[in-house]
Structure 1
Amino acid sequence: MKILKAAQVQEVDCQTLIAQRISSLELMERASEEVVKAVLRDLSQKKERTFSLLCGGGNNGGDGLVIARLLLSMGEKVKVHILKSARYSSDNVANQSKIDNTYISFFDLDNIPYLSDKEIIIDCIFGVGLSRPLSTEYRLLVDRINAHPNLVLSVDMPSGLLADHVNESAAIAVKPDKIYTFQTPKMALLLPDNHHFTREFEVLDIGLDKNALDSQVSHSYYIDEALVASLVKMRTRYSHKGSFGHVVLIGGSYGKIGAMSLCCLAAMKAGCGLCTVYVPRCGYICLQTAVPEVMVLTDPEEELISIFPTVNSFSAVGVGMGMGQESKTKTAFFEFLQSLSPSSKLVLDADALNLVASRREVLSCLPFHTIMTPHPKELERLIGKWSNDIDKIEKVKEFSSLYQVIVLVKGANSMIVNPNGHLYFNSTGNPGMATGGSGDVLTGIITSLLGQGYEPMDAVVLGVYLHGAAGDRVMDEIGEEGLVASDIILQLSPAMQEIKRHRFL
């Protein structure tokens, strides 16, 4: 799914009206119907509910007026508060006339309406078309909304949030519990710097013209199930274990063998045919006992890696999980990188990234399209500090292009950057996955897919989505707080089957 700028979304809206021969009022009706369905689905367990629609004078306010009318027609308790304006859009005016005046009140910024603690606020003041930050005159209204103890829901964008930008943390903008955005996510909803304003969002398909969407040029994408389903390789009836690759995972040190245990089990669950693990001698019994499906090779050293194995015969290599940065390990690692074939399929994680960052000249030794999986602190060691998320994106793009590597920046909406400057943001995952070992699981998944013959970029896109989807299945069962990395592994197979089923929808 393409991520479009605000101007592009507005252009697609216009092209949709022409292509589908509908009016802007009809498109507004369609979009609002989707919002109502989503809201009532999300609030199905909330029996007592009163909605307060806060509407601006533009088309976002028009959406709110349609939503109010639809909720009223369903017997819901609804109040409509319209911000006084010198000018209302024509669609806004048309929809004002369709609601009984007894449900509508007008207010100005010096006379904000009373909002009961029991009311659910639906924010429709400003949408994707907002082009500049809100002035201080809106502060009282926004602060009142943000202090509301009940649910606050925003339509398309939180009022005050600029769609294409990093917004200042002190910006005057609504901080909703959930955002229902139309057709495509907006960049502002995906950036960590905007986390104050974007707790949760859902993309609603409002039927914009497919040709119009396809015609828009964008190098930023949102990874959804349709995309990953198109990437999945289907197995043939006559496959055997050799058909799905033999991966090797190198890492571990005294006290951190668990990282390798999680990584190799995830690799097997993600579908590789064979997996060999190379660890210090102290990890031998642990791994042979914990994961009997894998083969174990050991370093001469008891507690650390001092020599790297020859890997030319393996279909993919993952390095760094729990490995440490001891001097012997560091020397052996750099020798290992210099020995690799240009065609080697390599994933670098954790301490492998920290070692590379400490000696940047070895970056030129990396095979073409090596996959790097840093968390934010590891990324900073690789590319340096950044001033904001947009600056970070540009620095990662420059780094990826310079060294011809694929960089997966882990976190909420994990971002993948490839050497041609394309960005992919993940749509799965939850805060419960911020737990020790989760990254080791992800590295195992990606290395496994790479070993099965997936192109490097496809392996990362599918891998990060699968990892998040498995974590979401765990969250649905037990919640976020109790989620641990081994739970994610147990849900990998069901998550993959769900992705494969999407191919037939």
Structure 2
Amino acid sequence: MLNILSGTQVKVLDRAYISSENIESWQLMERAANQFADWLVQHFPDFGREVIIFCGPGNNGGDGLAIARLISETYKRVMVVFFEESEKSSADYQINWSRLPNSVSRVFWRDFQSGTVQNPIVIDGIFGVGINRPVEGVFLEGIRIINRMSGDKIAIDVPSGIPADDCLKGEAVKADYTVTFQFPKLSLLFPEHAAFVGKMLLKDIGIPEQFLGGMSEGRLYVQYKDIPSMHRRFHQFSHKGDFGRVLLIGGKTGKVGSMVLAAKATLRTGSGLVFVSVPSSEKQILQISVPEAMVADNSELRDLSKYDAIGIGPGWGLDIDPDYFAEILRSVKRPVVIDADGLNLLAKYPHLFDFVPSGSILTPHLKEFERIVGGVACHRDRLEKAREFAQKQQIYIVLKGAYTSISCPDGSQYFNSSGNKFMATAGSGDVLTGVLSSFLGQGYHPKQAALCGVFHHGMAGDLAGAKKNRGLIASDIIESIPETFVQMKLQ
């Protein structure tokens, strides 16, 4: 897993590495430029397109100049748009300015005619992680020029105008891609910045994590390679009881589809036995839709100790007696998964949190979370509240969305890298409830269940989304869950 850094931490880390390795800062810049240039050439192989690089006076602009030099022998037309005379710029900017070949044209920003360029590749190197206030003056004009232009837009490290640690307060470049280096920057993961960041790509420039020292704030970025080692392994003599007994509670009249999706997802994730508690009027629908699941009657809710995991809330309705909910929570001696109307009931009756078992996993989307803890001005504040609430209640908060975050009782916070925009569809959350409940039932520690569950859910969405695109529905995610295990070679 990779640490997620603030803008200040990035600068400290760079200085520590440069000092330790006895290299010059421009040499580290060269590594970043090489990684960017290699990606650009592979991703945009039409070398006849014009490449226009906007370079601010700092080191982000220096990156842009280095990139211009590196790609100048591949792309036929490369132009640098600059804002300051080089002697007024950073030392590394000046070094890279002096190394520009004559084949790279140089245009002062006021003289740049954006209307004469058709479908260029536009690279934003105006500002990097150092910005912490709204952009003004000539640089704001530069941002506006970029945003008015056609073509593909790519930001170096962060889109100009986006603070590395906080939410945007002014204007920023709207990039299609952001190529960032070594470690993710926190604000690139904020939903408020999605329209500016575009697709984030992470490139390694060879700085080992050991140089972080004590700088880590306990925020980690979870990637594909991190997941297989977290999984339990089962042997050939395993039986269905070894794979867990899971109970799902919810599905009022008219909403039993939520439980159908949750039950199917639980089974597809590998649970051995799945029981579903729904109103008697909905039992037939459930049994026809999911013949592999068993319908639990009310008598089976009196003894919850026989279940290895319980998922509560999808389609449950808000007319549930809070005392009944409290009785269920009091009767459970192990972590549960709570979603949807289960969360809405907790928000409506906050005293119910007193009965939520330690280690439970709550899966709110942004609005559900705000119903519980109150409104926030920025996603950074939301993340802080999630971290504080998870510590206070000793539970796991899975805050759903792009880069779903998992806030843990120990104060650590994880950000998921799988998933896509097509998963924003009815029932996707019910599927996640089933996946998480399944992993809990299989004996995973709640943190493992949350990390694996969120990643596999997103990965299944990626596999399904590659085929279904905008037509993706929750059932497609379910059917792709087994393939995630196949690709990870998990037995």
TM-score bracket, shorter-length normalisation: over 0.9
Relative to the length of structure 2, the TM-score reads 0.93
SS of 1:356 mapped into structure 2: helix
Relative to the length of structure 1, the TM-score reads 0.91
Matched, 1:78 2:85: no
Q: Structure 1 residues 2-11 or 88-97, which shifts more?
A: 88-97
CA contact (8 A) 1:136 1:172 kept: no
Map of 1:12-411 to 2, 5 A cutoff?
12-44=13-45, 46=46, 48-85=48-85, 87-108=88-109, 110-114=110-114, 116-168=117-169, 171-213=170-212, 215-299=214-298, 308-327=301-320, 329-341=321-333, 344-411=334-401
For 1:220, the aligned partner's letter is R
| CA drift at 1:486 | 0.5
Distance in 2, Cα, partners of 1:26 & 1:8 = 19
| CA drift at 1:138 | 2.7
Match of residue 416 from structure 1: 406
Match of residue 486 from structure 1: 475
For 2:484, the aligned partner's letter is A
Match of residue 430 from structure 1: 420
Task: Show structure 2 runs of 5+ residues with no match.
Answer: none
For 2:149, the aligned partner's letter is H
| CA drift at 1:236 | 2.5
CA distance 1:78–1:112, shift in 2 (3 Å): closer
Distance in 1, Cα, partners of 2:47 & 2:473 = 34
* CA deviation map 1:294-325 (0-9, x unaligned): 2222459xxxxxx9443111111001111112
Distance in 1, Cα, partners of 2:160 & 2:480 = 37
| CA drift at 1:73 | 2.2
| CA drift at 1:336 | 1.6
| CA drift at 1:71 | 1.3
Query: In angstroms, what is the RMSD of aligned CA positions?
Result: 2.2
Task: Show structure 1 runs of 5+ residues with no match.
Answer: 301-306
For 1:488, the aligned partner's letter is I
Distance in 2, Cα, partners of 1:484 & 1:76 = 44
| CA drift at 1:19 | 4.2
| CA drift at 1:331 | 4.2
CA contact (8 A) 2:248 2:276 kept: yes
CA contact (8 A) 2:274 2:293 kept: yes
| CA drift at 1:215 | 4.9
CA distance 1:202–1:442, shift in 2 (3 Å): same
CA contact (8 A) 1:308 1:333 kept: no
* CA deviation map 1:90-109 (0-9, x unaligned): 2222222222234231414x
| CA drift at 1:489 | 0.9
SS of 1:174 mapped into structure 2: coil
* CA deviation map 1:55-95 (0-9, x unaligned): 12222112112211221222443112222245222222222
For 2:479, the aligned partner's letter is L
SS of 1:28 mapped into structure 2: helix
Counting aligned pairs with the same residue, the percent is: 37
CA contact (8 A) 2:219 2:412 kept: yes
Matched, 1:451 2:450: no
Distance in 1, Cα, partners of 2:288 & 2:24 = 66
CA contact (8 A) 1:107 1:113 kept: no
For 1:218, the aligned partner's letter is E
CA contact (8 A) 2:161 2:168 kept: no
**Matched residues, number:** 488
| CA drift at 1:4 | 1.0
For 1:80, the aligned partner's letter is V
